[in-house]
Amino acid sequence: MSARDSSNTDEVIGEIFRSMNTKTTDRKKESIRSWADGFPYVNGGLFSGSTLSGKIEVPHFTKIARS
């Protein structure tokens, strides 16, 4: 789902994390993208320490890190 130049890898991983942080019954309401909807819910607290202003923090990836 990410661009070859890694320009959006953090966004893709962020959406996957957001999906895993959202109960399956709430995903439609939260507008979880369809490609991320297949990931299981993993007890919302997993990402609680990595949020800033309610948004899950994901590191930015270089092209090498993505590969």
**Does some domain include residue 29?**
yes
Range of the domain at 47: 9-66
Q: What is the pTM of this model?
A: 0.78
**Does some domain include residue 30?**
yes
Q: Residue 51's beta-bridge partner residues?
A: 56
**Does some domain include residue 3?**
no
How many domains in the chain?
A: 1
- For 23-48, b where at least 16 C-beta lie within 10 A, e where not — what string? eeeebeeeebeeebeebeeeeeeebe
Write out pLDDT tens, residues 28-60. Answer: 999 999 999 999 999 767 776 555 556 777 888
Task: Specify the length of the chain in residues.
Answer: 67
